[in-house]
Every structure is written in structure tokens, then in C-alpha cells.
Amino acid sequence: MLEFAEAAHHGRKTFFVEVILPLAIAKNYTYRVPFEMNGAVEVGKRVVVQFGKSKLYTAIIDKITETPPEKYEAKYILEVLDDRPVVTQTQLQFWKWMAEYYMCNDGEVMNAALPTALKLASETKITLNREFLADKSGLNDREFLIVEALDLQPELTVSDIAKLLGQKTVMPILKLLFEKSIINISEEVSERYKPRMRTFLTLNPVYQNQDQLKELFGLLEKRAPKQADAVLAYMKLSRHQKAVSKNELIEESGAGSSSINSLIEKEVFIAKEKNVSRLHIEDEGLFDIFELSAQQQEALNSIRQQFEQKDVVLLHGVTSSGKTQVYIRLMEEALAAGKQVLYLLPEIALTTHVIERLRQYFGTSIGVYHSRFNDNERVEVWQKVLNGEYRVVLGARSAVFLPFQELGLIIIDEEHEVSYKQFDPAPRYNARDAAIFLANKHNGKVLLGSATPAFETYYNARSHKYGLAEMTERFGGTELPLIEVISIAEETKKKTIQSHFTSVLMLDVQQALANKEQVILFQNRRGYAPLLLCKVCAYTPKCINCDVSLTFHKHSGKLHCHYCGYKEDSPTICPACGSTHLEYKGFGTEKIEDELSLLLPSARIARMDLDTTRSRNSLQTILNDLEEKKIDVLVGTQMVAKGLDFADVTVIGIINADSMLKFPDYRANERSFQLLAQVSGRAGRRGKQGKVVIQTYDVNHRVIKQVIENNYRDLYFTEMEERKNFSYPPFFRVINLDIKHKDPEILYNQAAYLAAELRKHFGERVIGPETPLVSRIRNYYIKSIMLKFEKDGVSVNKVKTTIRDVITQFQTTKLSKGSIIQPDVDPY
DNA sequence: AGCACGCCGACT
DNA sequence: GTCGGCGTGCTC
């Protein structure tokens, strides 16, 4: 109280700041601002605060108040790190929304958003006390070990010591050593971001006078020829560039660093330290003028028109219909209006190729942001976006966190890609959905682009929540691939099938090879055979952890579990009955590759699946070989569908579509469709029509029919319509605690799966969450209601609640098997 | 996230 | 007994 009186006396106010700490804690904390920092605090700036007993963290100021907290004494902030905010108000609102929407803490969002180099945290360092006179007697084993280690290495962290001792609890031991004055414990903070500094030189203006210059040369030539060279080199360089750096001069003149230093000492050169960018960008300035095709122009007009009423438009364009040019036009328009543009791509598509292509149009105003950038580079991009130097940002999902000033347009290419979703640490966000919110905050527009839109996106577009523009023809007149569906059953009956290849497929493959074209064979299973079966007793080896049948891998000769990675040797006699009649059932990519090489001995065949791409560069090697046509036939799993541009692939064979049509969950049709459509879309490039051969037992399957018609409409709508008429019950009982997951979207999927399973047993009485619009789940009604088990049977109760209520209750009240969840809302 | 505190099982 | 693991609660 005295302090307040004093403050009033001095006419100074006492401020408090609420800060976001980069930790997974539920609330934000209040710190007191020392008077001398009153002028420095501002929302969005970073401050250093002590949190807990000793740790220091970088926190972001979220609010400034004058009300002192009632229940505790606030600590002081220790330092204000920034001259101007590094996080904008809009970003803070965005963070709050994300924490709310994806059910995590502000601190977790901050962690994901801010480049690590902007977050400094202290680390506890252990050093040997100088006063300690190496008298190691009287130390116990562990203490001795620690002191020994500190003799070798002057500084250790707490976790180093935990590792050293092989135990988790080390604090008590360290404390004891500290009390005996043997060690020091200190907290160290270091700034991680270091701007790259270069020394730039200018010639002392005295030497603009020719006579003075001549005199200088005369002097130098005799006594210091290297220095004369340096001055000469400077004259040469400065003719073409404004600033000459010390490094350049060293290189150009052949003079050493010492010669140049003495020139600086003699004040011939004037040195200046300057901050230079790590992001080497050359303005290529190659304004590549292009004209839109009629179809592109039409799509562009339609998008523009729809943006007048709608904030989000889906551009549904078949593979290679030339969506990029449409994006570029829209981007140019947004830039012309003085706005910034964000162009999101899945990580895998962020290749130098794409980046170069866009740089041709947007030059140095384009920034790139993705996970391969190191910390310092990320900070530089961050700052350039903040100060408006970058007008266009090309980035992977984390680019939604950049500090945009005025975002006019967000383009989300390949909008259906699952890599837009972050799964592991929280925030478990989907960059596509987050971007839509972000654009809205900036009053900007969003264009979603895809050849195979996500279910929910397409639904939103068709129900007029989003606009919709379509491009159905390939750019440059290449026709869509011809799709042929072949009945495996029929060919088996006619005995025209060889191994797993129908005569139709074989003919197309041979034809392609004869034309020096390439082929992709798609088989949605890796390994050689997905199960081993004893013909006598029907025994099948199963994983000891997961209880799924083990897949045989020929290259290792072992049985593998595809869930947990467990391996065991493949038995030659049945472990159950001793019979030798063991048979491999089913087939995977390995077997396809094997048998094809027998049928086509001269073809160069490669395989692309998890097994062949596990090591670091192997994926790139395969892609390069394909590009350079060192591969004729590529056998692969769904990896081959991932937005990669293949050179001369004209034939795509889908070995067995049935395995793709039987995904075990309720999103089956969507996934099958997308996969089939994506794989098919790869056929035919460079002006040549491709062909897709789908081998199946189920030639009339509705998904296959949809793929042939390239038609999302009916499929999506029938799926949706089937899921509408449910009624709502008053409570439900948790019967399975497996419906528990940190990720709200996964939790929802599991609930749906569980409901579907229960429905098999209890029929219509189980009503499950079934809508596939997973991205909007939080506010959807869970129509599912678990069962109340009774001795004499089952009775079903109903509830109306949202997934959010369920998760909240999972998090707050500790639910156990049999607990009853009461919804907040009145169900009737 | 760290760190302290308290409970509980397995060792000298 | 006592040490260390582990669950729980708190940090402005």
C-alpha cells in the first residue's frame, strides 16, 4: 500500500501485465511492471519473467491493466525484449480462437506459432564451485560421479546428470552438493536469434579528390602492395554496386583480412557493421507473361464474382487443369489492392521447383516458410512479414501463424491433404480451417483448390456455404484419362489372368513400355503377403501385441506387424499342429514387384512404399530415377498418389480395387473415392491421354462408378442424406474408455467407430455420431448414445449433446467405466 | 514445462 | 528403514 501511495506521490501509475507463457498451463499469469518499464510495455511485446521457483521464460504481453491482483503478490517482469510488438493484435485473437477451438492452452498455441529463436528460456546449469578443493573423500558414489564429470566438462545440465546417474530424481542430490558448497546452480538465458552481421566498407571521401588518391597509391605501391591491390579492387567493385563488403573485397583483391584492417586503421576505408539477410533472394525479374485459357478465364471470373458474396470459394479442377495460373491472377489482384497474400501448400509440394516458379512473378516480395528452415531463417521471415516487406508468403501449415498486417487472400492448394492437419503436439489444428478463420479476421478471401476436395469442403461448397468454381478439362487440351474396369472374376474364369495381372492390364503395360512410356501399378498393401495360413488347422500367426495377422516380408524373411513393428521369423512348420502345409495368402507390393519381374524380365521395376522409402534420401532417389526415366514400372502404395508430378506416366494399373473399397471405418467411401481419383489423375501427361485400368471383383461398386464419372456430387450427397434422421436421448453412459483422445477430431472418429460397432450388435437402438464433417465436429451434436447395460438385456437411452461437452467432461470430471454423462443442454 | 511433496513398493 | 518411482498440485 505504501508503494501505491508513493507512486501516486510521484504521479506514476502502477501497471500489471497479463502474459501468455509458452507452457501447457490453463491460464495466463499477471506480473507487475517496474516503473522504469512503464513506457516500454505494450501488448504483443515479449517480456522475460520468472515463473515457478527459478525458471525464466519469454512471455507475450496479452493485456495491460492497472488493477492489482487481490489474492497474491505479483512478481515483477524482468525485462522487455522488444522495441515494437512481435505479435499483432490480430494474431493474439487468432491464438485465442485456436486455443478455444482445438481445446488447448494459449501457451501451446504460442509454442507452435512463435519461431523457437524468439522464445528464450533459461536452462539450469551446474558448475563446480571454485572454492571446492577437490577433496573427494567423504563423497558418496553418486556425488563422486558428478564431481568427476564436472572435472572433465565444466558445465552440465540437470538432464545431463540424470543421464549420467541413470536415474530420474536428481534434484535432492544436487541440492545437497549445493549446500556443501561443492557445486553452483545457476540459470542461464541466451538469446537464440543472432542477426548475420557483415562489415561494409566505403572509401574515405577525402579520396574523391584525384590527387589525394594518386598520392595514396604512390605510397601504398611501394610499401604495401597488397593494400594497393585492395584499394584497386574496391574501385572496381564500387563501380557496379552501392556497398562493398569486406568479404567480397578479400575475395576480389586477394589481399588478406589484415591488409584491409590496416587500411581501416589508416582511415582509408570506413567500416560499418550491417545486418544482412540469410534469405538469399535474387530478384529474377523474369515477368513471365502468360494468357489464360478460356476455361481458366471463366473460372477466374466466376471466383471473382463469388467473392463478392462469399468469403470462401472452392476451385474444383481436375489434375493439370492449370489451377496455378488462376491463383497467380488472383494473387496479383490482391497485391494490387495493397494486401498481403498467403499461399499454403502441403509440405511435400514445397519444392524448389514451385518456389522458383512463383518467384518469377513476385520477385523479392515473396517469402517462403516451411519446416526445413532453421530458426534464424524463420525469425527473418517473421520480421519481414511483420514489417510488410514480404507481400506474398508461400508456406506449409505453420505459415498461418506469421504476423500478417493485412491479409487479402489465402490460397490453399491441395486443400484435401491430410498434412494440413497437425496431429501431435497441441494445438491439433487444421491449417485449412484455421486459415479460413484467419482470413475472416483480416476481411480477406480464401480460395481452396483441389482435384479431389475433402468431403466436408465439397459438402460446404454444394450446400452454398462456400462458392464453387470448376475446371473439368486439362490444360493444353490433354484429355482426361480413359478408365477401364476389368472383372478379375471373369478373367480368372477365362484363365486369361496371369498372376495378379489381367490380360487387359498386361497388354497396356507392354504397349506403354514399347512406346518408352512409364507405368504405375497401385497396390494398397505393403509387404509380400498379408497373412500366413496353415492349410491343415487354419492357424494364422498373429502379433503378440496387437492381435492382427502378421504380414510376410520376403526381403527380410520375417513376419511383420504393420501396427507396432513387431517382427518374428516366418515358421516353416505350423506352430499349432506341426503340419508343413503353410500358405501365404493375399498379396502386397513386394509380391506384385516380384511376379511382374518374372513376366516382364527386361522391364526396370521399382517399388515405392514405406519399406523402400524409410531412409532419408530414398524417396528422392526413386523420384529422380522416375523423372530421368531409369524406371519403367513403379509399384507402390498410396504414396504414389501424393501430389507428385510424374514425367511420362501413361498407364496406371490398380491391381485390386476391392481392398481400397473396404476401409474399416465410416469414412470408407470418401477415402476410396479420393484415392482412386488421385491415383487415376496421374495418368497421361505432356499432351498424351493416359489410361487407368481398375481390376476388381466388384465391377458395379458405386464408388468405382463415381470415379468413372469423375463425379463427387451424388456420392457425397447420398452419404450425407443417409445420416440425417436421428432423435436425441437424455443421457449416456460411458461404456468404453477408449473413446478418449487429446485430439478432438480423433475422439470424434473413435466415438463414431464405436457406435458403428455397437450398431452391429444392437441395431437401430444405437445412434452414433456419423456425420463425416469432422472438421466442424466440435459444435455438432453427438447423436450417439451409449448403452445402459442391465442384467436382463440392453436398454438404450438418448442424449443430445455436443462433442465439446463430452470432451470437457472427459477432461474435468474423471470418468470411469459406467459413469453417466449429463449434457448441459436441455435435450427436448 | 519444472519442481516439491507425499505415498508406496523393493532393496541394503 | 530408506531410496527412488510416480501421481498430484502449483506456479502470478
CA A822 / C1′ C6 distance in Å: 32
pLDDT at A530 over 50: yes
CATH number of A122-190: 1.10.10
Q: Is A564 annotated in some ligand binding site?
A: yes
Confidence of residue A828 (pLDDT cuts 50, 70, 90): very low
Q: pLDDT averaged over chain A?
A: 78
The answer to whether A574 and A524 are in contact (CB under 8 A) is no
A337 alpha-carbon distance from chain centroid? 30
CB proximity list for A289: less than 8 A, separation 6 or greater: none
Confidence of residue A744 (pLDDT cuts 50, 70, 90): low
What distance separates the 2 farthest-apart alpha carbons in chain A? 113
Q: What protein residues sit with their CB closer than 7 Å to strand B?
A: A 23-25, 51-55, 121, 124, 158, 171, 175
Report CA Rg, chain A: 33
The answer to whether A60 and A38 are in contact (CB under 8 A) is no
Q: Which of A192, A174, A194, A193 is nearest to A184 (CA)?
A: A174
Q: CA-CA distance, A287 to A332, in Å (whole number)?
A: 12
Render A229-270 in DSSP notation, one character per residue.
Answer: HHHHHHHHHHHH-S-EEHHHHHHHH---HHHHHHHHHTTSEE
| Domain residue spans of chain A | 122-190, 205-267, 294-477, 482-528+587-721, 732-825
pLDDT at A776 over 70: no
Confidence of residue A637 (pLDDT cuts 50, 70, 90): confident
A97-106: per-residue pLDDT in tens?
Answer: 998 877 789 9
How far lies A616's CA from each of A347, A423, A486, in Å? Answer: 16, 22, 38
pLDDT of residue A725: 36
Q: CA-CA distance, A18 to A43, in Å (whole number)?
A: 9
Provide the phi-psi class of A538: left if phi over 0, else alpha when psi is between -120 and 50, else beta: left
Q: Which of A758, A780, A795, A551 is nearest to A666 (CA)?
A: A758
Of all nucleotides, the one whose C1′ comes closest to residue A19's CA is: C12
In CATH terms, A732-825 corresponds, of 3.30.70.600, 3.90.1150.10, 3.40.50.300, 2.60.40.10, to: 3.30.70.600
Amino acid at A793: G
pLDDT of residue A646: 65
Q: Which of A664, A796, A792 is nearest to A728 (CA)?
A: A796
Q: CA-CA distance, A92 to A109, in Å (whole number)?
A: 10
Query: What percent of chain A shows pLDDT beyond 90?
Result: 29
Q: Residue closest to C10, CA→C1'?
A: A52
Q: Does domain A482-528+587-721 have CATH number 1.10.645.10?
A: no
Confidence of residue A434 (pLDDT cuts 50, 70, 90): very high
CA A475 / C1′ C8 distance in Å: 62
CA A24 / C1′ C7 distance in Å: 18
Confidence of residue A399 (pLDDT cuts 50, 70, 90): very high
The better pLDDT of the pair A688, A373 is held by A373
Q: Return the bridge partners of A558, or none.
A: A553, A569
For strand C, give the nucleotides within 7 A of a protein CB: 4-6, 10-12
pLDDT at A672 over 70: no
Q: CA-CA distance, A433 to A457, in Å (whole number)?
A: 10
Cell numbers linked to A542: 498373429
Q: Which of A533, A524, A501 is nearest to A659 (CA)?
A: A524
pLDDT of residue A186: 81
What is the bridge-based pairing of β-strands A340-344 and A407-413?
Answer: parallel
A291-320: per-residue pLDDT in tens?
Answer: 888 999 999 999 999 999 999 999 998 777
- Find the angle CA(A177)-CA(A183)-CA(A188) to the nearest 5 degrees: 125
pLDDT of residue A128: 84
User: Does the N-terminal peptide bond of residue A827 adopt cis geometry, omega within 30 degrees of 0?
Assistant: no
pLDDT at A247 over 70: yes
pLDDT of residue A84: 93
Q: CA-CA distance, A58 to A254, in Å (whole number)?
A: 45
Cell numbers linked to A145: 560421479
The answer to whether A518 and A649 are in contact (CB under 8 A) is yes
pLDDT of residue A756: 57
Winning range, highest mean pLDDT, from A115-129, A157-171, A521-535 = A521-535
Confidence of residue A819 (pLDDT cuts 50, 70, 90): very low
Winning range, highest mean pLDDT, from A60-74, A199-213, A614-628 = A60-74
The better pLDDT of the pair A733, A334 is held by A334
Whether the model pTM is above 0.75 = no
CA A817 / C1′ B9 distance in Å: 27
Of all nucleotides, the one whose C1′ comes closest to residue A170's CA is: C4
Give the residue-averaged pLDDT of A562-568. Answer: 79
The terminus-to-terminus CA distance of chain A in angstroms comes to 54
Q: Is A104 annotated in some ligand binding site?
A: no
The better pLDDT of the pair A731, A18 is held by A18
CB proximity list for A204: less than 8 A, separation 6 or greater: A267, A268, A269, A270
For strand B, give the nucleotides within 7 A of a protein CB: 1-4
Confidence of residue A747 (pLDDT cuts 50, 70, 90): low
CA A168 / C1′ C7 distance in Å: 15
Say yes or no: do domains A482-528+587-721 and A732-825 share a fold.
no
Render A639-686 in DSSP notation, one character per residue.
Answer: GGGSS---SSEEEEEES-GGGGS--SSTTHHHHHHHHHHHHHHTS--T
Q: CA-CA distance, A172 to A175, in Å (whole number)?
A: 5
The answer to whether A501 and A633 are in contact (CB under 8 A) is no
pLDDT of residue A134: 66
Q: CA-CA distance, A21 to A617, in Å (whole number)?
A: 38
**Within A495-559, where are the H helices?**
503-514
Fold of A294-477: Rossmann fold (3.40.50)
Give the residue-averaged pLDDT of A510-517. Answer: 91
pLDDT of residue A59: 95
| Residue A797: exposure state from Cβ atoms within 10 A (0-12, 13-18, ≥19) | middle
Query: What percent of chain A shows pLDDT beyond 70?
Result: 78
Helix (H, G, I), strand (E, B) or coil at A325: helix
Of all nucleotides, the one whose C1′ comes closest to residue A27's CA is: C12
A585-600: per-residue pLDDT in tens?
Answer: 889 999 999 999 999 9
pLDDT at A765 over 50: no
pLDDT at A35 over 80: yes
